[in-house]
Structure 1
Amino acid sequence: MEMRRLRYFVVLARQLHFGRAAAEIGIAQPGLSQQIKVLEKELRAELFIRGRGEVRLTAAGEQLAREAPKLLDECEALARSVRSAARGSAGVLRIAYTRSGADLRLGELVRSFRTRYPRYQIEALTGWTSWNLELLQDRTVDAAFIRGLERPRGVEVLELGAEDMVVALPVGHRLAEREAVQVAELAEEPVVLWPRHLGPVFYDRIVQQVWPGAGPLLVQEEPESEQILAAIATGVGLSVLDRRRAQKLCPPGVVLRPFAGEPLRVPVGLAWRQGDETTVVGEFVAYCRSHGHAWVEGEQGD
């Protein structure tokens, strides 16, 4: 899917008028119409309903309109990072966040570093643990936040803290009335989880602690916490998610419950390339070593 066509789609989805969208983009209206048709052919989905005097989004178009701006932002951030890598600029720190980074205050940690070291330019993008590590290893980024403390060859990892996990349940579920849930009570329950390849160490840690032996009764996989929670709201199953992100995104129809007894926690870390001796990476690692735990664990004042 070509990014140029995706940008055209975003403008048209906002304007819902081919003439105005074409004028904003700076191309002829027939050219915009042709590019949208090519995009629909690529996706094998009709994105717009074209009627006399009106343009409306289809269900597929509405889905793409929700996701496309975020994808464009990430692609632009990635392009900036690649350009910085090509320049070899020692004054640029390229960072990859995990999707739960905002809820873990990792952005605030980075902003505090920026305040302490204003001479450095920060470029950031957001992904998931396994992708972040790939970006680190192929030198697209200089440092990456990860969950589960996966340590591939050639990568150093600093543990910054840990996040509490909770059980997300449909309203009306037999366990929803409990103040806390026992791990053993989840053994035969249908489960919605994210695909393992997005973060194998994180995924395996959850499965080993909650569903040892046979593993979860997996009925559905969704790549994002939002989609997992939406599925739970329909009664498909339950899930185990990081507490702060689940609380932030929790929709109607879903309740969150802690684990009974010892809290279930998953570590969060900072990864960088082994032997990276650039000043900016060294100072960022040192800063996270001194201050990271306070931000991730919520000990740092607002």
Structure 2
Amino acid sequence: MKITQLRYFLVLAEELHFIKAAARLNLSQPPLSRQIQALEQELGFALFVRGHQRVRLTEAGAAFHRDVQEMFAALDRAVTHAKGVARGEVGRIVLGMTGSVSFGVLPRILEQFHREFPQVRMEMQHLIKAEQIEALAGGKITLGLTRSPVRERGMASEAIHQEPFIVALHERHRLAKLKVVPLEKLEGDKFVLYRGNSSPSVADEIIDLCGEAGYYPRIDQDAGEMQTAVSLVAAGLGVAVVADCIRSLHLPRVVYRPLTVRGRKIATRLYAIYRKDDPNTFLKAFLRLAKAGG
């Protein structure tokens, strides 16, 4: 049994389509089919039920898939750890993050990372997106966590988590008693946005959603972060579209409601941003765990 065959198997199990899997592997379909057949012959059981190009995992194939995934995860950890030892690294990752990130998925990601890499020291800095970009460029942080991608040369963005957008309203707002608030009904309201001195920003996404709802928002306040925006809502200074994790921020006189646009639910993404040339051996492992935990 060859490592290459197992990697081919994992890709086909993800795509469930021979042509798409072959394209990801930079192969033509026949060599991929031959390798999968050879693997099945060596194992003594079928991994896939085959249709026309499309396939689905057999029960045995699904069990094998889970075990092979765990095996490669362990191999990744071993390689990452060995590289760190070879370079004489104790291991260190510095995270730059907006304040809202700490309300959501981050604690779960950090817990999992620490479980797998207890020797790596984790440090965190609260930075808005513009500050994260500056810190990345200067090598002061390993990666940033923000609500929008980056466009800066030499930097990359990866979406690691998605959650619904909701709206924060003052308890006396005319729509506060609704179970779900259509964004269309907020036309004319004062909006509190949070740009973080960078572009693109989640504020741009909210403006686009308002455009889909048929209007340009009346922007009355521009806060640096989501939680600051909610504080302004509590003061009666407007409404704010925020990520669902902000529900855990309990402020007097603020209510949170699910939000729709043209009848559909809408979501926001959390991005990991980092330098493409970063040599930190634990960055790839963190990104893997972050996407799995998101």
Quote the Cα distance in structure 2 between the aligned partners of 1:111 and 1:278: 20
- My pick for the range that moved more, 89-98 or 201-210, is 89-98
Larger Rg computed on CA atoms:
2
Query: Is residue 284 from structure 1 mapped to residue 294 from structure 2 by the alignment?
Result: no
Aligned to 1:133: 133
**CA displacement 1:124-158 (0-9 Å, x = unmatched):** 21212222122112211111112122332111222
Structure 2 CA distance for partners of 1:276 and 1:234, relative to 1, 3 Å: closer
Q: 1:148-167 to 2 correspondence within 5 Å? A: 148-167=148-167
From 232, 254, 265, the counterpart of 1:263: 265
TM-superposed CA distance for 1:199, in Å, is 6.1
Structure 2 CA distance for partners of 1:121 and 1:259, relative to 1, 3 Å: same
**CA displacement 1:73-97 (0-9 Å, x = unmatched):** xxxxxxxxxxxxxxx9672211112
Query: Is residue 114 from structure 1 mapped to residue 114 from structure 2 by the alignment?
Result: yes
Query: Is residue 176 from structure 1 mapped to residue 176 from structure 2 by the alignment?
Result: yes
Quote the Cα distance in structure 2 between the aligned partners of 1:167 and 1:161: 19
* Structure 2 unmatched runs, 5+: 1-87
Q: 1:59-98 to 2 correspondence within 5 Å? A: 91-98=91-98
Is the 1:129–1:199 contact (alpha carbons within 8 Å) kept by the matching residues of 2? Answer: no
Quote the Cα distance in structure 1 between the aligned partners of 2:176 and 2:154: 44
* Structure 1 unmatched runs, 5+: 1-87, 294-302
Q: Structure 2 counterpart of 1:251, which letter?
A: L
TM value normalised by structure 2 = 0.62
Quote the Cα distance in structure 2 between the aligned partners of 1:143 and 1:230: 28
Structure 2 CA distance for partners of 1:285 and 1:229, relative to 1, 3 Å: closer
**CA displacement 1:45-93 (0-9 Å, x = unmatched):** xxxxxxxxxxxxxxxxxxxxxxxxxxxxxxxxxxxxxxxxxxx967221
TM-superposed CA distance for 1:106, in Å, is 0.9
Q: Structure 2 counterpart of 1:273, which letter?
A: R
Aligned to 2:216: 215
Structure 2 CA distance for partners of 1:221 and 1:208, relative to 1, 3 Å: same
TM-superposed CA distance for 1:240, in Å, is 1.0
TM-superposed CA distance for 1:252, in Å, is 2.1
Quote the Cα distance in structure 1 between the aligned partners of 2:265 and 2:275: 32
**How many residue pairs get matched?**
204
Q: Structure 1 counterpart of 2:173, which letter?
A: H
Aligned to 2:82: none
- Give me the CA root mean square deviation: 2.3
TM value normalised by structure 1 = 0.61
Q: Structure 1 counterpart of 2:231, which letter?
A: A
Secondary structure of residue in 2 paired with 1:188: coil
Is the 1:90–1:278 contact (alpha carbons within 8 Å) kept by the matching residues of 2? Answer: no
Aligned to 1:123: 123
Is the 2:98–2:225 contact (alpha carbons within 8 Å) kept by the matching residues of 1? Answer: no
Quote the Cα distance in structure 2 between the aligned partners of 1:226 and 1:118: 31
